[in-house]
Amino acid sequence: MSLLSNTTVLLGKELRTEFRSRELLTTTVVFILVVVVLFSFTFDPSSAESRRFAANLLWLAFLFAASLMLQPCFLREQSNDTLSALRLSVNDPFAIFAAKLTANTLFLLLTELLMLPVFSILFNVPVFPVFGQLVLVLFLGSLGVSIAGTALSAISAQARMRELLLPLLLLPLLTPVLVASTQVTVGLLDPAPFVEWKGISFLVIFDVVFLTALWLFGEYLLEE
């Protein structure tokens, strides 16, 4: 019970911090836009041929954005010297991770949902007929990214070259999420949309495995 109430309080803190400035959300949305526009220069996005790659491109943009977005997650605590206070304030250190990864998942999902209509217009792919299923895969994918990313940002916050280190550690680790999410999204954006359940269940497996690993080893990541 204390885990849940601790997590709720900490989640409130994370959300308040972000919504006071909205820095993270704004910069991430702009970053995704820049990536999507730059992609359009590397190939012609209006042709039917390249529309097949829309899903792949979308996930790649989300993944790059996430690797930057997750950066301040622990860095903020580090530079404000609040990590020890956080550690002392909860019984179970997993509450810190649970709150941060929930906040990160929400932020990621929010930016993705903001980008989806824009993306649909720019790349001329209909997203609204499969909106519900898309939200499901976006949620599962973002959850996986956040679980691994929150854990690794606790590591990278205490290293040199941390801005480069987090993407370097995170992106290869997220290969399974990228592969599975892209497969499902490709199916959903197909002219005859279908749900690739194998991909959905794979994402669930990834999330459960990494959540368990974080639950088991998370407290060591916060050692002073």
Partner 1 sequence: MMKHALGGAVVVLLLLSAAYAAFFVAPTDVKQGLIYRILFLHVSSAWTGLTAFFVCFVANLMYVWRRTPHWDWLGVSAAEVGLAFTTVVLVTGPIWAHPVWGIWWTWDARLTSTFVLWLLYVSYLLLRTLVEEPDRRALFSALFGIFAFIDVPLVFGSIRWWRTQHPQPIVMGEPGSGLDPTMWNVLRFSWLAMLGLMTLLLLARYRVEAMRGDLEILRREAEAA
Contacting residues toward partner 1, per CB under 8 A = 148, 151-152, 155, 158-162, 165, 168-169, 172-173, 175-176, 179-180, 183, 198-199, 202, 205-206, 209-210, 213, 217, 220-221, 223
- What element of type H or E holds 69? helix 54-69
Tell me the closest approach of the beta carbon of residue 207 to partner 1, in angstroms.
11
Of the pair 36, 58, the CB lying nearest partner 1 is at 58
Q: In which residue are the tokens 């690739």 written? A: 196
160 SS3 class: coil
Residue 23: which of 81, 76, 63, 77 has the closest Cα? 76
Token pair in block for residue 176: 């399974």
Least Å distance between CB 94 and partner 1? Answer: 14
Minimum CB separation from partner 1 for residue 37, in Å?
A: 27
Least CB distance from residue 175 to partner 1, whole Å?
A: 5
Q: Name residue, tokens 């820049």.
A: 34
How far is 138 from 141, CA to CA, in rounded Å?
5
Q: Where do we find the tokens 């205490």?
A: 158
- Of 52 and 198, CB closest to partner 1: 198
Pick the closer one to partner 1 by CB: 49 or 224: 224
